[in-house]
Structure 1
Amino acid sequence: MAERWPEYPHDALGWSVQALLPLVHRPPNGTWGRRGATPFTLAEEWIGAPMHAEPRVDALVHRYLAGFGPAGVKDFQAWSGLRRTDEVFDRLRPGLRVYRDEAGRELFDLPDAVLPDPDVPAPLRLLPDFDNVLLAHADRTRVISDEYRKRVCVGAAVAPTILVDGHVRGVWTLRRDGAATVLTARPFRALAGAESDALAAEAAALLAFATPDDAHELRVERPE
C-alpha cells in the first residue's frame, strides 16, 4: 500500500486496512515478555474459505449460547453489539431450550447443553484480562458485583480476575522479578483455607504453563 499511495502516511494506511478489511490477529504475537510488530493476515486466507456476503446471525447465536448459555436476548446483544435480535431468537426458539430465571426473564440454551447442579461448587479459576465471562451478559452481577466491578473495570481495561465459586473475588498480575516469574494475587476478601489451597494449585499450573523454564513464586496480598 505504501508503494501504491506514497503520498499518504504509512501509519494511516495501516490503520485504514485494519478498519476496513476483515483481518485475523494471528499468533505468535503476545508471547510472554516479548513485543513486536502485530501479525495480521486476511481472514479469508486464515480460514481457507471466502467470507460470507451477509452476517450469519443464527450461527452467531448458537456459538454464543455454546459458550455462555443459558442467556437472554439482551445478554446476546450486550456481547455481540447487535440490536433488535428478538425475531432471531423467536425463529430459533423451536430448536432451543427455554428457561426462566429468578426474575422471570427468558433464558435460551442449546438443546444438548448440560446444566450442572446448582449445589456443585465452581472451581477456583484465574481468568485473563478482558475475559468474556465478565463481558458476555447484560447483567454482570451474576459473575461480579457492582462494587468489585469498579475495581476490575477501570477505564477501558478489564483486569485479570480470581473466580471463587463462580464469582470475582480478586485480581492478579504476572511479572518477571529477576530469574523468577511472580504471580501476585490481590483478593478482595480473606480466603478460607481450602480457597487458599486452590489458589496455590491454580497459580502453580498457570506459572508452569506460562514460564516453564523460570523459577516461580506466588505472592498473596492482604485484602484492602
Structure 2
Amino acid sequence: MTTTAKAGSAPVLSRRALNRATLARQLLLERAAMPAKDAVHHLVGLQAQNTKPPYYSLAARLDAFEPRELSELMAAREVARIVTMRSTIHTLTADDCLALRPLVQPVIDRELRMFLKRAPGVDPDEVAKLARACVEERPRPVKELRELLQQHWPNADPRALATLARCTLPLLQTTPRGLWGESGQVTLTSSGSWFGRPEPVPSPEETTALLDSTVLRYLGAFGPASVKDMQIWCGLTRLRAAFERLRPGLLVFRDEHGTELFDLPDAPRPDADTPAPPRFLPEYDNLVLSHADRTRVAPPEYKRRTWCGNFTYCILLVDGLVAGIWRLEQSAKGDRATLTIEPFAPLTRGRRAEVREEGARTLATLSSAASQDVRFGEFYGTKGQ
C-alpha cells in the first residue's frame, strides 16, 4: 500500500509494499526465465561465504535452473568467488569481480588496518608484491601462501599475513572450489591472472561514475532503499553525495517511520496484496542482509531464531517473510535426500501444502538422489503441527 502522509510530502510505502517491491527485484515473486549469468549480474552478486548458497539462491529465483549451469560458468571463468561487499565472499560475474573489488577497497582497508596491528613492522605493499608473484606463478592454497610470507616475516602472525595479502590484492578463489558436486581447498590467485584481463586502477572520476552506476544497480535489485540501506549492503560509508547526484532521476518515497527512500522510476512496485509464494533461501542470502531495517522481510520476533552463534540457518519465506528454517541432508551414498522444514509457527493447511510443494521442487533441483523426502520438523514450539 502507498499513501501520502500530507500534501506535498513524499508518498509513504507500507512495510508490506516494500516487501513486495523487494521480492520483485529479487526474482522471488515469480521465477525468472533468464540465464544464470544474467541473474548473478542483476542481483549484483550472490553471497558465497559457503560454496552451496549461490546454487540455492538461483534455485529459488530462476525457472528451470540446473546447478550445473552456474558450475559451468565458474569453470569457464565467467563468474568467480571474491571478497567484495561488506568484505565478504560473493559470487560475481568476471566484469563485476574486476570493477567492484577496487570500489569497495575502503571497506577492505578497515580490515587491513585491524590486521596490521597484529603484524607490526610489516610493509603491506611488500606483502602485496610477494603475494602477487606467488599466486600468479600458480594458484596457491592459503597455507602455502601463508608459509611463503612467513619466511620474510617470521615473527608476524601467520593469519594476519595471509589476510594482508587478501586485503592488498584482488585475490579470488579458483576452481574446483565452488563447483557443484566437487570439493576442493581454497586456492587463490589474482583476478587479472584468472580472467586474463588487466585489473582496473580507476581514476577519481571513474570511481565516481562507477559508484553512481552501482547505486542504480543496487536500487534495481534491492530498492526502494535509503542511503543507509545501501551502506549496509556494501559496507561503504558517506554515500549521501552519490544519491544527491542521482536524485533528479530518481523517485523519492518514505517508509512508515519517515525514512527517505529512493527508487528507479521504472522499477516494479507491485501491489501490497500481490501473492508471494514460499521460497527456500540459503544462509546469508543478501535478501536479508542488505537493508538497515530488515523488518521488510524478517519479522523482529524471529530475529534470533535464524542464527546460532555466528552461524545462520537456511531460511524459509512464507508470504514473503522469514517464517522458518530448513536443511537438506543426503545419505553417504547419495541415494537418499531429505529436506526438513522447521516453521517458527503453525502453518495453515493451505500454506503447509504450498511449502511442501515448493520444498519438493527445491529438493528435485538440488539433488539427483533416487529417493527424495520432504519433512516437517520441530523448531521453537512447533511440535505437533
Q: Given the two structures, how large is their TM-score scaled by the length of structure 1? A: 0.87
2:213 to 56, 59, 66: 59
Aligned pairs for 1:29-108 (under 5 A) are 29-31=177-179, 34-45=182-193, 48-53=197-202, 55=207, 56-108=210-262
2:288 to 129, 134, 143: 134
Structure 2 residue 304 is matched with structure 1 residue 160? no
Shift of residue 44 of structure 1?
3.0
Amino acid at match of 1:191: L
Cα distance in 1 between the residues matched to 2:189 and 2:342: 38
Q: Which residue of 1 aligns with 2:99?
A: none
Q: Deviations over 1:37-59 (max 9, x none)?
A: 12444223455453242543212
Contact 1:99–1:108 (CA under 8 A) maintained in structure 2: yes
Structure 2: any 5+ residue segments left out of the alignment?
1-133, 135-144
Q: Which residue of 1 aligns with 2:168?
A: 20
Cα distance in 1 between the residues matched to 2:302 and 2:213: 33
Contact 2:176–2:182 (CA under 8 A) maintained in structure 1: no
| Structure 1 residues 31 and 72: CA distance shift in structure 2, 3 A | same
- Give the root-mean-square deviation of aligned CA atoms: 2.5
Q: Which residue of 1 aligns with 2:331?
A: 177
**Deviates most, 14-23 or 192-201:** 14-23
1:193 to 322, 338, 349: 349
Q: Deviations over 1:44-82 (max 9, x none)?
A: 345545324254321221121111000111111111111
Q: Deviations over 1:142-183 (max 9, x none)?
A: 111222111113333222100011111100011113531111
Shift of residue 16 of structure 1?
4.0
| Structure 1 residues 86 and 45: CA distance shift in structure 2, 3 A | same
Contact 2:336–2:369 (CA under 8 A) maintained in structure 1: no
| Structure 1 residues 6 and 124: CA distance shift in structure 2, 3 A | closer
Contact 1:125–1:202 (CA under 8 A) maintained in structure 2: yes
Cα distance in 1 between the residues matched to 2:177 and 2:254: 42
Contact 1:152–1:158 (CA under 8 A) maintained in structure 2: yes
| Structure 1 residues 155 and 60: CA distance shift in structure 2, 3 A | farther
Structure 2 residue 366 is matched with structure 1 residue 210? yes
Q: Deviations over 1:70-118 (max 9, x none)?
A: 0111111111111121111111111212112222221111222011111
Q: Which residue of 1 aligns with 2:122?
A: none
Structure 1: any 5+ residue segments left out of the alignment?
none
**Deviates most, 83-92 or 172-181:** 172-181
SS in structure 2 of the partner of residue 7 of structure 1: helix
Q: Given the two structures, how large is their TM-score scaled by the length of structure 2? A: 0.53
Amino acid at match of 1:176: Q
Shift of residue 23 of structure 1?
2.6
Shift of residue 14 of structure 1?
4.8
Q: Which residue of 1 aligns with 2:78?
A: none
Shift of residue 26 of structure 1?
5.0
Q: Which residue of 2 aligns with 1:7?
A: 151
What's the % identity of the aligned pairs?
Answer: 41
Contact 1:190–1:222 (CA under 8 A) maintained in structure 2: no
- Counting matched residue pairs gives 223
Cα distance in 2 between the residues matched to 1:166 and 1:27: 34
| Structure 1 residues 24 and 59: CA distance shift in structure 2, 3 A | farther
Cα distance in 2 between the residues matched to 1:108 and 1:167: 22
